[in-house]
Amino acid sequence: MAEETQEGKAEKLFQKFGKKVDKFLEELDEAGGKLNKEFEGKYEELKQAAEKLKKEADKNERWKEVEASLKKAGQELENAVKAAFKKKQN
């Protein structure tokens, strides 16, 4: 009879643990969705700011050099991110 009680306790423990894991995964999914929406919003803001800056830059020759430098910096940043997340090959 003692074995049945121990099995029952273990089953309840695993049920509670499973429910907590399920809840955590739901919250994680919800947070991921919120972050994705926030990222999309920020991306759109940056895109609009870039377009505005580009229009203004076209009016001023000095900004051509700035634009080239920013493109180079963006490429370097992209290379750094790719290197950071690239899987190591054996």
9-63 per-position pLDDT tens digit: 888 888 999 999 999 989 888 888 888 888 888 888 888 988 888 787 667 777 7
**Any domain includes 28:** yes
pTM greater than 0.85: no
**Any domain includes 85:** no
Residue predicted with more confidence, 24 or 88 = 24
CB contact burial 1-13 (16+ within 10 A = b; e otherwise): eeeeeeeeeeeee
Number of helices (H) and strands (E) in the chain: give both, helices first. Answer: 2, 0
**Any domain includes 83:** no
Q: Which domain does 53 fall in, by range?
A: 2-60
- Residue 88: per-residue pLDDT: 63
Q: How many domains, the chain?
A: 1
Name the DSSP class of 13: H
